[in-house]
Amino acid sequence: MSSEQVIDRLKNALGDKLKGTFAQTALRIYAEADPADIVEVTRVIHNDLGARFVIASGMEMETDFEVLYHFAFENMPPPCPLVTVRVHLDHEKPLVDSITSGVPAAAWIEREMHELLGIEFKNHPNMKPLLLAEDWPKDVHPLRRGRPWEGKVDRKI
Amino acid sequence: MGVTVKALMKSPWVFHVSAGSCNNCDIEILDCLCPRFDIERFGAVLIGSVRHADALIITGAMNRKSALRVRQLYDQAAKPCLVIAIGACALGQGVFRDSYPMVQPLDEVLPPGAVTVYVPGCPPKPEAMIAGVVKALAQLQPAAKPEGAEKEAADVQ
Amino acid sequence: MSSPWHLLGLLVFPGFIFMAAVGMLVSWVDRKVTARVQYRVGPPVLQPLWDLLKLIGKETVVPRGASRVAFFGAPLIGLAGAVFVGTMLGYAMFFHMGFNGDVIVALYLLVLPSLAIILGGSASRNPIASVGASREMKLTLGYELPFILALLVPVVKVSMAGGAGPLTLTGLLAYQAEHGSFAASFSGLLALVVAIICTQAKMALVPFDQAEAETELTGGALVEYSGPALAVFKLTKMLMFYAVPMFVVAVLWGGFGNSPGGIVLGVVKYLVLVVVITLVRNTNPRVRIEHAVKFFWGPVTALAVIAMVLAVWPKW
C-alpha cells in the first residue's frame, strides 16, 4: 500500500483528531495529535486498523517534551509504511494519558519513559521503575538535558 | 607443583558473566567454543552453575545493578577461581565511563588481586582470549618461567 | 575365596579401580565422539581424570541452612550403589560367582544414583536444585517400570525353558552361553531396544537429562555442589557409564563368553552400545519432563509388556 493510501485510511478512520500528516518517504509517515486525543487515536490505529505497536520514544526538546508512538501496518500488502504519531507535552510538567487501555503492549515503554525522562502517564496500571537500580533517587531523570545526576548519585557501590 | 594445581591448569571450567555488555564480547567468547577454535581441547567447558566454575569470564562495563551481582557471583564461586576480564568495558568501562549508571570498574568491584588477566579489545579476537586464558593458567604455577607461557600462547595461535 | 580377597575384589578388580578406569575411558570416548560429530577436536584421553583431580582440589561450599548430612551423604550413596552393582556384575561375568536373586538386587542398586541426585538436590536449599530433584523423581518414576520389565524378559525365558537359576546373573549368562544371546529372539530384541532407551534416561543423558539441564536449569540438582562432593557425583556418573551398558550387554546381549573371542565380542558389543548412546545424545534435543514421562509410560512400557508376553513362547 502506498503512503497516500495509508494516509487516506488514517484520515477516514480518525477524522480531524489526526493533524498534520506528512509522508517523509514512501515508507515513513508522521502525524500529530493532541495529548487529550492520543488514547483514542492509538486505540483506533492499533485495534481497528490492525497495526502493530512497535515502540514509543520520548524526547526532551528545547521548549517541550515530545512522545512519539510508532505503528507498523504489517497486515497490509507491501510496501508497508511505519506510521508515527507525535504529541507535544508541556516542558515544566509533562503529562499525558497512558495508552495501555487500547494498547497493552505500551506498559513497559511508558514505565521506561517515566523513570528516565520524568514524563507522567495518567492511569498507568503498574508504574514501577523498570531499568534503573533500586537505590536510584526517584526524582533524578538521567536522560534529561544537562547531566542531572551529577552530585546526586554515589558512584561507588 | 601439586597434582591438583596441575589438574586445575588442565581442566579450567569456565563460567560466563555479562555485566551489562553490548554482547559483542559474548559472541566472541562463544566463538571460542565453536569448531574453529575449540577450547574444549584444553579441557575448558562452559558450565551452568557458578559453584562449579574455575574461571569467571567477565564482560561488560559495571553498571549499578550488575556490579552488585558480579561481586556476589565472585563470592559464590568455589576458590581457587581465576577471573578473566574481557573487552575494553571490563577493563576500564570503555566508552561508557562517564555515563549515568556506571559505578567503579571491575577491579575495584572485586577484591584487590582477584582479576587474573585483562584481555583488551572491542571485542578481542578469540585468539587473544585464548592467549589470555593461557596466561591466566600459567599464573597458577608458583615459579612459572615466562618463556613457558609464551610458548604455549604461540602454540595455540 | 576367603573374605580378604573379596575386599580386594570390591576395591580393585572387578570393583572400584577397574570400574573407574573403564568409566573414565568411556566418558572420554563419549566426549570425543561428541566433539567429532560437532566437527571439533575434543579433549585428550586423560581429561576425565584431570577433571576429577581438579575438583578434589577445590573448596566445598555448603549452603547455609542446608542439611550437611544429606548434602554430603547423597553423593556417597550414589557412589556406593554404582560400585556394588559393578562389582556384582564383574563377579558374575569374570568369576562366575553370584547368589540367588542378585538380578533383583542389581536392579535395586541401580536406582541408588538417581536417588542420590534427588537427595542431594533436595538438601541444597536452592529452588533450582529442588526443580532438578523433582524432575529426576518424575523421570525415575517414568523409566524404572519399562527398564525392569525389559530386564525381566530373560528371567521369563530362562524359567520357561527350565534353565537353572533364572534370577541369578550367572544363570542368565550360562543360558546365553549355551543357547545364544537373548537379543537373537524377537522378544529379546524388543527388550534390548527398550533397555537402551531406558539406559539413556538412567544415565541422565540428552534427551532425558532434565535433572541436570545445563543451559536451562544452570546445573539442576547439582547447582550448589562444588569440590570433592561434586567430584564424587561426576565419578558416579562415569561408573554408571560402565555399569549400566555392561548390565544390558550381560543380561540381554550375550555378555562375555569364556573364550578370548567371546571376550573381544563382548567388548565390541559394549562399545557399540556406548557409541549408540553418544550418537543419540548428540542428535536429539532435550524433551520436556511431561513428554518424557508420557513417552516412557506410553510406547516404551507397551513395548516392554509386549516383549514380556512374547517371551513366554520359546520361538519368540
Confidence (pLDDT) at B151: 52
DSSP letter, residue B63: B
Q: Are C288 and C294 in contact (CB under 8 A)?
A: no
- C-chain residues near B76 (CB < 8 A): 61
Kindly list the partner chains of chain A, i.e. chains with 3 or more CB atom pairs below 8 Å: B
Q: Residue C76: CA atoms inside 13 Å, Cβ hemisphere, count?
A: 6
Residue A148 has pLDDT above 60, yes or no: yes
| Sequence-distant (≥ 6) Cβ neighbours of residue B113 within 8 angstroms | none
Which CATH class name applies to B3-156?
Answer: alpha beta
Confidence label for B148 from pLDDT (cuts 50, 70 and 90): very low
Q: Is the pLDDT confidence value at C28 over 60? A: yes
Q: How far is Cα C262 from Cα C260, in angstroms, rounded to an integer?
A: 5
pLDDT tens readout for residues B47-90 = 888 999 999 999 999 889 999 999 999 999 988 899 999 999 99
Contacts of C46 in chain B (CB under 8 A): 10
Query: Which residues does chain A have within 8 Å of residue B103's beta carbon, measured at their own beta carbons?
Result: 155-157
The per-residue pLDDT for range A87-102, each reduced to its tens digit, is: 999 998 999 999 999 9
Residue C316 lies in a domain: no
- Asked whether the predicted pLDDT for residue C15 surpasses 90, the reply is no
Q: Do B104 and A155 touch (CB under 8 A)?
A: yes
Radius of gyration of chain A (CA): 17
Per-residue pLDDT, A66: 93
Averaged pLDDT for residues C58-84:
91
Encoded amino acid at C66, one letter: A
What's the DSSP call for residue B16?
E
Distance of CA C152 to the CA centre of its chain: 16
Instruction: List the single best residue of C27, C30, C53 to mutate versus B (max B Cβ within 10 A).
Output: C53
Q: Where are the domains of chain B?
A: 3-156
Burial C51-80 (b: 16+ CB within 10 A, else e): bbbbbebbebbbbeebbeeebbebbebbbe
Reported as a single tens digit per residue, the pLDDT across A37-91 is: 899 999 989 998 888 999 999 999 999 999 999 999 887 777 788 999 999 999 9
Indicate if the pLDDT at residue B15 is higher than 50. yes
Where does residue B1 rank: exposed (0-12), middle (13-18), buried (19+ CB within 10 A)? exposed
Dist CA B21 CA C145 (whole Å): 48
Tell me which of C262 and A107 has the higher pLDDT: A107
pLDDT at B144: 43
A116: nearest CA partner in chain B: B100
Dihedral, CA of residue B141, residue B144, residue B150 and residue B152, to nearest 10: -40
Contact C101, C92 (CB under 8 A): no
- Strand runs labelled E in chain C: none
B: neighbours with 3+ CB pairs under 8 Å? A, C
**For residues C114 and C172, what is the distance between their CA atoms, to the nearest angstrom?**
26
Q: SS3 of A65, please?
A: strand
Query: Lowest mean pLDDT: which of A12-16, C150-154, C199-203?
Result: A12-16
Contact present, A44 and A103 (Cβ < 8 Å) = no
User: Would you state the pLDDT for residue B153?
Assistant: 52
Q: Grade residue C209 by pLDDT with cuts at 50, 70 and 90.
A: confident
B3 min Cα distance to partner chain A (Å): 39
* Predicted model pTM: 0.86
Residue C315 within any structural domain of the chain: no
Q: What is the dihedral of CA C98, C103, C105, C106, to 10 degrees?
A: 100
- The secondary structure of C79-94 as a DSSP string is HHHHHHHHHHHHIIII
Chosen from C226, C234, C235 to mutate, greatest number of chain B CBs within 10 A: C226
Which whole number is the average pLDDT over C94-116?
Answer: 90
CA–CA separation, C205 vs C191, rounded Å? 20
Using the predicted structure, report yes or no on whether residue B150 has a pLDDT greater than 70: no
Closest partner CB to B8 (pick from C40, C57, C220): C57
Q: Closest approach of chain B CAs to the CA of A128, in angstroms? A: 16
Q: In the predicted model, is pLDDT for residue C1 greater than 70? A: no
Does C145 score more than 60 pLDDT? Answer: yes
Cα–Cα distance for residue pair C136/C144, rounded to 1 Å: 12
Q: Does residue C182 surpass a pLDDT of 60?
A: yes
With residue C289 as reference, give the H or E element that holds it: helix C289-295
Q: Which three cell numbers stand for residue C211?
A: 535433572
State the fold for domain A3-93: Beta Polymerase; domain 2 (3.30.460)
Rounded-to-integer distance, Cα C241 and Cα C37, Å: 20
C-alpha A150: how far from its chain's center?
A: 28
> What is the ipTM for the molecules in this complex?
0.84
pLDDT at C12: 83
Q: Which residue of A has its CA nearest to B102?
A: A155
Give me the number of domains chain C comprises: 1
Kindly list the partner chains of chain C, i.e. chains with 3 or more CB atom pairs below 8 Å. B
Residues 126-145 of chain A whose Cβ lies under 8 A from any Cβ of chain B = 132-136, 142
Q: What is the mean pLDDT of chain C?
A: 89
pLDDT at residue A52 in the model: 92
d(Cα B95, Cα C176) in Å, to the nearest integer?
73
Q: Domain residues of chain A, as ranges?
A: 3-93
pLDDT digits (tens, 9 = 90+) for C221-245: 899 998 899 999 999 999 999 999 9
Yes or no, beta carbons of A142 and B67 under 8 Å apart: no
Q: Which pLDDT belongs to residue B145? A: 44
Domain span including residue C184: 3-310
User: C224: which 3 cell numbers?
Assistant: 550448589
Q: For residue A50, give the nearest of A80, A21, A15 by alpha carbon.
A: A80
Q: Is residue C41 within 8 angstroms of chain B, CB to CB?
A: yes
Give the Cα separation of A21 and A33 in Å (integer). Answer: 10
- What value does the mean pLDDT take over residues C197-202? 92
